[in-house]
Amino acid sequence: MDRTAAWAALGPHADRLKAASLRELFAADGGRFDDFSASLDDLTADFSKEKLDRPALDALLALARACGVEARRDAMAAGEAVNLTEGRPALHMALRGSVAPDVPGVADVAATRERFLAFAEAVRSGAYAAAAGPFTDVVNIGIGGSDLGPAMAARALAPYADGPRAHFVSNVDGAHFADVARGLDPRRTLVIVASKTFTTLETMMNARTARAWLAEAVGDAAGAQMAAVSTNIAGCAAFGIEPERVFGFWDWVGGRYSLWGAIGLPVAIAVGATRFREMLDGAAAMDRHFLSAPLAENLPVLLALVGVWRRDAMGWPTVALIPYDQRLDRFPAYVQQLDMESNGKRVTRGGAPVAQATGPVIWGEPGTNAQHSFFQLLHQGTDVIPTDFILAAAAPAGGEHHVALAANCLAQSAALAFGLTEAEVRAEMAGRDPAEIDRLAPHRTFPGDRPSTTILQRRLDPFALGRLIALFEHKVFVQAALWDVNPFDQWGVELGKAMAKRLTPAVESGDGSGFDASTAGLVARLAALRGGA
């Protein structure tokens, strides 16, 4: 079966299942959990609450085969130039030891890892210190993948952090650095500048501000309290950062896939080299599973197929990602970039318009907080919004808190799936005034039939975090193969950057002539408001 036929084959299954309810699917199959879940060690993905049945899943697996998912996967691991528009491989798996050492370009990965981890340990032990003493705080300055990945991981691994405190600055808004720096001692703070080219506008503006903040306290020693993750050695040296504190990476690692290398330096300083390696080991375990498991048992493949089913067969354009773990509060933002920057594409790898809708809108917040903000819409709104839940069986702050957390997570997935019919509402209200029942029953009815997937693991530790991140990386890759898009470029980021450069002089002068009427009007209004300040 070719790609076009495999896509077309989903249609009849979608039509059939749109008319079926999750209540009916569970009533017809008492073994649904066993039939529609998959595991890797302690990690389980339960997609039994998706509007799928065996024929539909078989059609999705046929689609994966028709789209050459296994061949695309193997080509990526072999170092082929799967990033077609930039003529590069995508070898982020090499950073955790999952690519053969003879693949071109990866020979120095281990040495680079040892170098930045050795520096992390030197900072942690005080062997590398400021003149005032060992570093108490680290401020990482980056944006996009140079910020979202390490910021998310440092937060997730907070119980394991026993080194200098990690802080992150990304926004060009000066308030971000000011708020982070408030309360820090510049004499005991290490600043890491993460920019591959050492020219990223937002990062370098913040870096100059940080250097001035350090210099005000320590004078010419400011450069000694800075490190960089960059390939621009000369640019770093001109900034006052000596080569021994510059840690490089490769053009075959995209920013959103770069946590595993030197971009993870602030995480390594916070939790130590041993814990950082455990995170790499977790990702490598998922890599081995992804590279070897049959499609029907392959967690990233199955989750990707569920996502494509939601997006294209059922027509649901958005996904709520809800980790029931406060320390994963930055995980939805991380996955948002990973997924939407990778697969938010409108043309195929060959440049033709895509035949299907591609990347969904990813958003979310941790439970249980989310229950008290937007879950009203998930349960009773007019749009069906599929939800991905993440839950650990145990947590450092366990006891009754974690029991309540887990119960809420499971309750939400069940409530979304099965709802509460009007008849059930009326039965619950039996004995009350009939007029009041008639008035309130429509408001208290839940339609249900809202799909979700639950990802369950034993605990959130460095190994589990690495495995979880890699699961989502590979899921995104598989979906890109199904949609035939390139998940490793991001040309959509560039136009806004170029226009911002053109607009900077206009904003400074207040003269927006030469731009469209709306932009010119906003420039003028901005200037007027600034003058009135």
Residues labelled as active-site residues: 341, 372, 497
Yes or no: say if 159 and 272 are a contact pair by the CB < 8 Å rule: no
Q: Give DSSP secondary structure letters for 430-483.
A: TTS-HHHHHHHHHHH-B-----EEEEEES--SHHHHHHHHHHHHHHHHHHHHHH
- Enumerate residues 6+ apart whose C-beta is below 8 A from 292: none
Cα angle: 66, vertex 70, 72; to 5 degrees = 90
Spatial neighbors of 215 by CB under 8 A, at least 6 apart, are 222
Angle between the 331-343 and 462-483 helix axes, to the nearest 10 degrees?
Answer: 20
* 527: nearest Cα among 503, 500, 491, 493: 503
CA–chain centroid gap for 446, Å, is: 31
Q: How many C-beta neighbours within 10 Å does residue 72 have?
A: 19
- The tokens for 60 are 């999705």
Burial class (CB in 10 A: 0-12, 13-18, 19+), 459: middle
Q: Helices 462-483 and 299-308 meet at what angle, rounded to 10?
A: 50
Buried/exposed 201-235: b ≥16 CB within 10 Å, e otherwise:
ebbbebbebbbebbbebbeeebbbbbbbbbbbeeb
> What single-letter amino acid sits at 95?
L
* Tokens encoding 378: 């998930």
For CA atoms 31, 33, 34, 37, the dihedral sign is positive
DSSP assignment, residue 99? S
The residue assigned the tokens 């020693």 is 221
Q: In sequence order, what E strands does 10-93 have?
A: 37-40, 43-46
Choose among 36, 42, 37: nearest CA to 17: 36
Spatial CB neighbours of 476, under 8 Å, sequence gap ≥ 6: 304, 338, 339, 342, 343, 487
Contacts of 271 (CB under 8 A, 6+ apart): 154, 157, 160, 161, 162, 163, 462
Element (H, E) at 409: helix 399-418
